[in-house]
A and B are shown apart, each in its own frame.
Chain A
Amino acid sequence: EAGVAQSPRYKIIEKRQSVAFWCNPISGHATLYWYQQILGQGPKLLIQFQNNGVVDDSQLPKDRFSAERLKGVDSTLKIQPAKLEDSAVYLCASSDRQGSSYEQYFGPGTRLTVT
């Protein structure tokens, strides 16, 4: 089974620039999560999709962050404009939630550095 794919793996931008991240979940997984992981901390949920609908985006800074999951498969996360404090690893994860399975699978992450 192929894992969760993310791109790019690394990105360096200047503050006030824009950036977009892409995630391809495991085939058939209905639930997709975007997390922000700041160095030395645990992952923090930004947004959760169930198919192409948003389940939770309460911690997404909506003035600068946006995300979409068209067709309920791939997803993109955008930051516009970026701030220094956005420097972090952005992790995408997916889960099946079929039956009694809760397990989520993480992608390799995108390391964003804002200078």
Chain B
Amino acid sequence: GENVEQHPSTLSVQEGDSAVIKCTYSDSASNYFPWYKQELGKRPQLIIDIRSNVGEKKDQRIAVTLNKTAKHFSLHITETQPEDSAVYFCAAYDFNKFYFGSGTKLNVKP
């Protein structure tokens, strides 16, 4: 089955700085890569996603890039704000199943 690895496990940035979280996957058949934000005690919420036929997607301050050859994808958050503080999960969709990374706890310091 698919194996998704996510780094770093914790990330601390100053408000206004950029944050980058990286994930790698093992199965080249994976074709959909969502990113979720989970605030403490709340449900994961989709913040951005990308399909395997696209290299980059942007939505205001967040962007995702995908390198199919290297089998890795990254989440980029620019101009971080304290409300961006949360745990972020990447996932890969492969043969009808979602495989999740272990999560990155992002702390944005005011």
Measured CB to CB, the residues of A under 8 A from B are: 31, 33, 40-45, 48, 55-56, 91, 102-109
Contact = CB atoms under 8 A, between A and B. Distances in A.
Interface string B66-94: 00000000000000000000000101010
Contact of A108 (B6, B32, B43): B43
In the complex, which of the residues B42, B49, B97 has the most CB atoms of chain A within 10 Å of its own CB atom?
Answer: B97
A41 B42 contact: no
B37 to A, nearest CB: 11
Interface residues of B, number: 21
Contacts of B12: none
25 contacts: A33-B98, A40-B103, A42-B6, A42-B100, A42-B101, A42-B103, A43-B89, A44-B100, A45-B97, A45-B98, A45-B99, A48-B96, A56-B96, A91-B43, A91-B44, A102-B32, A102-B34, A102-B49, A102-B93, A103-B34, A103-B46, A103-B49, A106-B36, A106-B44, A109-B43
Main secondary structure of the interface of B (DSSP, over half): strand
